[in-house]
Amino acid sequence: MKLYSLCLLIIMFYNIVSSVLSPNMRRRTDITLFNVNIIAYFFYLFNNFYSFFVRQGVNIFCISQRRKSGRERVSAMLKTNGVKIKGVGRYAPEIVATNDDYAKIVETNDEWITQRTGIKTRHISNGEPTYYLGAMAAKEAIANAGISAEEIGLILASTCTPDYYTPSTACLVQRELGVSGCPAIDINCACSGFVYAVDMAKRYLAEGDIKYVLVVAAEELSKFVDYTDRSTCILFGDAAAAVVLEKEEDTLFASYTAADGMGAPYLAARALLTTNPFRQTESEFDMNMPEPNKHFLLQDGKEVYKFATKALPKAVEEACKKADISPEELDAIIPHQANIRIIETAAKHLKVPMDKMVLNISDYGNTSSASIPGAFYDGVNSGRIKRGDKVCFVGFGGGLTYGAVVIEY
């Protein structure tokens, strides 16, 4: 604009001079004036082009640098506030039910179950309650961590199959460990429960007044499986797994948790009905939920499959985005062990090979929230997962809930 202003001043000067000159001189002046106008207009266009494109380019570069710097700050923050898995444990009942065993009680066979689910066997409780399964896994995790139970500052128990409405499973695990004093909390997010619990544990550890958190995932699904329904009974097993977490600086951690309550009817097990001597109506309140036979689990397999094949990869991608890494950079993904076809579909969506997935579904079936830490336990003990590996836990389940945690083992 400064160049254009200068040219305008020159034009004004020529106009003044031309007014006192002869006609011939004025004509030459007009020609010169025309040329000056052309030059001025050229400088005007050039200056505007420079202002828009060059300055915008500088702004875009600066914004890009600020965003890059922001990502670096986020990554550094996540590493500063990470957690370390100090110990792992697992417990499964001794009874093992094969596909052939199920063929004796419902109309099915080994080939049908294997092709559709990837499951060959599952462990079934011989009367051991949920809290006992969890306590046994917790004892191994504590021993593996090299600490005492008294050092645990918080117990988080993930279960959708508690032995009591109250006391909580976490309190019963605490009693079995022979300790008291620390908070003990239950989490019911069905098959996503372990992921939610690890996310919650990290937040407690970030406060700094707790040194160790015990996360226990214990499930006795045989308690609410309808063994006359071949579409569900073949899927589930009983097991528990546990981890001891501690705060660790300069380590990777990112989490993503979400839920979609609109999908609540697709996976449900009814609690107690409303019965009291003062009730005046006989009809049940319309909760827009399925009415199962007694307390048995009901599942809309098609809807759950559609949800899971989208939720699983989305959760991995969102957690990886927060960690500033790609799914391809992960050393291992430990998905909820629900169905092999769901896992295969998710792997294709994420563009990762199946050997990146840590699986034990063929041996344990679907153990709800215990499936992810159980598969992690197998991965660690087999040497598949090593210290320093970037690992992603990802789950989906009733609620509908889903989520993922990216952590450095």
182 counts as catalytic: no
Backbone angles phi, psi at 185, to 5 degrees: -130, 140
Name the β-bridge partners of 187: 158
Contacts of 237 (CB under 8 A, 6+ apart): 92, 97, 122, 123, 124, 221, 222, 364, 365, 366, 367
Helices (H), 247-360: 301-323, 340-350
Lookup result for tokens 């997962």? 385
295 counts as catalytic: no
Q: Please, are residues 397 and 336 in contact by the beta-carbon 8 Å criterion? A: yes
Among 7, 188, 366, 392, which one carries the catalytic annotation?
A: 366
Among 7, 182, 189, 191, which one carries the catalytic annotation?
A: 191
Q: Please, are residues 236 and 225 in contact by the beta-carbon 8 Å criterion? A: yes
The burial class, CB within 10 Å (0-12 / 13-18 / 19+), for 58 is: exposed
Report whether the peptide linkage leading into residue 400 is cis, meaning its omega lies within 30 degrees of zero.
Answer: yes
Report whether the peptide linkage leading into residue 277 is cis, meaning its omega lies within 30 degrees of zero.
Answer: no
Among 99, 182, 233, 336, which one carries the catalytic annotation?
A: 336
> What is the enclosing helix (H) or strand (E) of 86?
strand 82-91
Residues listed for the chain: 409
Distance CA 31, CA 225 (A): 98
99 counts as catalytic: no
Q: Which residues are catalytic?
A: 191, 336, 366
